Amino acid sequence: MRVALRRPATATYTFLLAAADPSGMEFTEGVYDLPVTLETDDGERVFHPSAVELEDGGLLLVDAGFGHTLDQLEANLDGHGFGLADVEFVLLTHQDGDHVGGLAPLVDRVPDVTVFAHRDDAPAIDGREAPIKGQGDRYPAVPVDVELAGGETFRTAAGPLDVVATPGHTPGHVSLHLPERDVLLAGDALTADDTGLRGPKEHFTPKLSQAIDSVRALADRDPETTLAYHGGLVEHGHGRVADLHDELDADLD
């Protein structure tokens, strides 16, 4: 198994929320937003898996969507000149079904793919434990090939991709930072709406105080642009994540 991974050694802002493009977009060279849509009782919802090009031309897919959105994901990849067979790695930001539900059908199509997840969420993903959310139904279990701890770095065509442990939304939530591109792939550690960048959704975040501490960890990275799985791409400028942390922390008090 070939893994391009390095383990760790021990004001005022203008918000630009990118419109959801059903075909996705390459928002910085080698980094792709791959939105998928789901019809619900409340209308259409958009979710934002993403992909980062690897040095060898393959892809690292960040989150897998739902089982029945795999065709949309494949169409998005095709629009950028890729196919599912180009996916070498899948990195799951956490165990929730809207991120993991598409993993089993993807692995069926691409059996040699390597699956990464944080060690604290891996038991829910691979079936050793039940997911912490949901009503008893679960997505198909899939083995996690490499368990992460946070602090790892992948080598990609877009530069180093750092794994940042951001627990709170789930015990093993991670976010991903591309420092050379000033880009954060937040997962659910941050969200976005038409006002710009927002905090994690309180109703779906069992340990809110811990999740706000995780926003502080992301503020230390000080990205200029964030892709939120719920909300999409936000170009918010430097300093905004730190200010957001302070707002969330004050509201918690």
- 99-114 pLDDT, tens digit per residue, is 999 999 999 999 999 9
Q: How many CA atoms lie within 13 A of 239 on its CB side?
A: 4
**DSSP summary character for residue 100:** H
pLDDT band at 11 (very low <50, low <70, confident <90, very high): very low
SS3 of 240, please? helix
> How large is the C-alpha radius of gyration of the chain?
17
Architecture of domain 13-252: 4-Layer Sandwich (3.60)
The domains of the chain are located at: 13-252
pLDDT band at 146 (very low <50, low <70, confident <90, very high): very high
Question: If we measure between CA atoms, which residue out of 12, 237, 59 comes closest to residue 157?
Answer: 59
The pLDDT of residue 10:
37
**DSSP summary character for residue 39:** E
What gap in Å lies between CA 126 and CA 145, rounded to an integer?
Answer: 10
The position carrying tokens 């095709």 is 78
Assess contact for 100 and 61: CB atoms under 8 A.
no
pLDDT tens digits along 51-95: 999 999 999 999 999 999 999 999 999 999 999 999 999 999 999
Q: Across 9-23, 133-147, 227-241, which has the greatest mean pLDDT? A: 227-241
Q: When comparing pLDDT for 19 and 125, which is higher?
A: 125
